[in-house]
Amino acid sequence: MYNYWTFVLDDIRSSLSQINFATWFSNIQFVGIEKTEHDNSQKAVIKVPSAFSKNYIQKKFYSELKSSIQKYYPQVSEIDLEIDENLTPTEATPSSQNELIVEEKPEKDTGVVEGFELKFDIANSLSVKRIEDKNRTFHSLNSKYTFDNFVICGSNQLAAVAGQTVAAHPGTEYNPLFIHGGVGLGKTHLMQAIGHRILENNPNFKIKYISAESMMNEYVMALQTRKTHEFRNFYRALDVLLIDDIQFLSGKEALQAEIFHTFNELHQQNKQVIFTSDKQPRDIPGIEARLTSRFSWGMIVDISQPDLEGRIAILEYKARRRGVNLNREIIEYIASNVSTNVRDLEGILNKLLIQTNALSNDQSIDLATVKLCITSQHFQAPSLSESISVKGYYISPARVVEAVSNFFDLNKVDVLGNSRTKEIMTARHIAMWIMKNQIDMSYPSIGNFFNGKDHTTVMHGVKKIDKMKESVQFSNQIHAIIQSLRN
């Protein structure tokens, strides 16, 4: 079986802060996939260094870890965390050529990036140091997201050209660069590709990639620990600042003010700033006008859903990277029937490779398998882990609420509202669960859809459904709702 563990780690890394990833995931070890004792299902076996690590991961990150594993190992129904005290942070196997080391923080920590050795960290008494050749830098960039791996087609051509221009002339061309588009279309990939290219051309640059949600968490901790000056010093000392999913700032007035002043400081010094969002600046609710105007100072580009030719090019490239030959008929069939986004295309390809174990050129995937993959819940239907929108039909969050409301014979306004009635709350949480697991919306985006609910409220609701779906009857209800959406 092909080892997808590095892909699992990359997914987890992208959803956590750098300090959380380094503390809890850089020193765990993937053993493999084994059969469970009680039935024919399979489990992922992972070694952790201590009982404390095991308990903390199970309590805080189990759902995220399971979801990431099932994306690449859909046959897995549970995770077995085994304690191996021989594992230490310094023995962690990195998922890229960069080595992550967790070390104790020096006695004096100004929070300023000095010699690239210190990362601003107020959440723990730890400092994460990334060693890359002879230069030390904190960029948090995913090694998969480079221009070499970014397939340029009609839907993203303007954005790609703008990104390459910024990478060649950071701070002088298109500053800021604002990239917007839907889920899974490549915004984060392009943003990080720019960061990688800038770092290649300018090894001494201080570059920071961060999601708006993680930045918010850092800022809240800075307020609680009275270290806002360190927060400001760190971000205003950067050469390149990349902030992902800026729509999360909606209604966060204090953090908006910090970003506004940080942007002004960086822009004045010709330091590059890049933002991504699921909407154009003017369409993001709850953003101050002065910050929206800053977003428009440089260049605004969009990435739209790829057309048929673009989807074919993407599939051909990703299959070639995996060393698999797909004939033209199969590629065109997939491209014609999965037209939502790049992530869905890659998800279908991953599942095909896992299903057929087609890992070399002498193995082939037939059209019947492809059709079965796309038109049915062929891969692990009982686990409810499928997240592919099929036949070119985008499942919108509004459709999810409508389907859930119809199934339970409830008013859509009540499901979207704040009613604490048990029946309505359960329906609301099911809708949130489907949005997260079926159409891959982020927790903040789901919260915004439900009248600005906090992302932690959404996470709580999703976790409740994860527990409740262990009931066969409840699981069947969710399957019926999902099936109504797919049909």
Last-in-domain residue among 78, 95, 112 = 95
Asked if 284 and 250 touch (Cβ cutoff 8 Å), the reply is yes
Q: Is residue 445 part of a domain?
A: yes
Give the pLDDT confidence score for residue 395 in this predicted structure. Answer: 67
296 and 180 housed in the same domain = yes
203 and 319 housed in the same domain = no
261 and 201 housed in the same domain = yes
CATH number of the domain that residue 175 is part of: 3.40.50.300
Q: Is residue 118 part of a domain?
A: no
pLDDT at residue 204 tops 50: yes
Last-in-domain residue among 280, 303, 326 = 303
Q: Is residue 386 part of a domain?
A: no
151 and 251 housed in the same domain = yes
Q: Is 0.75 surpassed by the pTM of this model?
A: no
312 and 283 housed in the same domain = no
Q: Is residue 138 part of a domain?
A: no
Highest mean predicted confidence (pLDDT) among 114-123, 193-202, 246-255 = 193-202
CB atoms inside a 10 Å sphere around CB 123: 17
299 and 312 housed in the same domain = no
290 and 317 housed in the same domain = no
159 and 240 housed in the same domain = yes
Instruction: Write the pLDDT tens digit of every residue in 212-270.
Output: 888 888 888 888 888 888 888 889 999 999 999 998 888 888 899 999 999 999 999 99
278 and 165 housed in the same domain = yes
182 and 247 housed in the same domain = yes
Q: Is residue 131 part of a domain?
A: no
CATH number of the domain that residue 23 is part of: 3.30.300.180
| pLDDT class of 273 with cuts at 50, 70, 90 | very high
Instruction: Write the pLDDT tens digit of every residue in 286-345.
Output: 888 999 999 989 899 988 888 888 888 888 888 887 777 778 888 888 887 776 677 778
281 and 152 housed in the same domain = yes
Q: Is residue 409 part of a domain?
A: yes
Q: What is the 3-state secondary structure (H, E, C) of the chain?
A: CCCCHHHHHHHHHHHCCHHHHHHHCCCCEEEEEEECCCCCCEEEEEEECCHHHHHHHHHHCHHHHHHHHHHHCCCEEEEEEEECCCCCHHHCCCCCCCEEEEEECCCCCCCCCCCCCCCCCCCCCEEEEEEECCEECCCCCCCCCCHHHCCCCCCCHHHHHHHHHHHHCCCCCCCCEEEEECCCCCHHHHHHHHHHHHHHHCCCCCEEEEEHHHHHHHHHHHHHCCCHHHHHHHHHCCCEEEEECHHHHCCCHHHHHHHHHHHHHHHHCCCEEEEEECCCHHHCCCCCHHHHHHHCCCEEEEECCCCHHHHHHHHHHHHHHCCCCCCHHHHHHHHHHCCCCHHHHHHHHHHHHHHHCCCCCCCCCCHHHHHHHHHCCCCCHHHCCCCCCCCCCCCCHHHHHHHHHHHHCCCHHHHHCCCCCHHHHHHHHHHHHHHHHCCCCCHHHHHHHCCCCCHHHHHHHHHHHHHHCCCHHHHHHHHHHHHHHHC
pLDDT at residue 440 tops 60: yes
CATH number of the domain that residue 481 is part of: 1.10.1750.10
Q: Is residue 124 part of a domain?
A: no
Last-in-domain residue among 333, 353, 379 = 379
299 and 199 housed in the same domain = yes
Q: Which domain holds residue 341?
A: 308-379
CATH number of the domain that residue 315 is part of: 1.10.8.60
Per the structure, the count of domains in the chain is 4
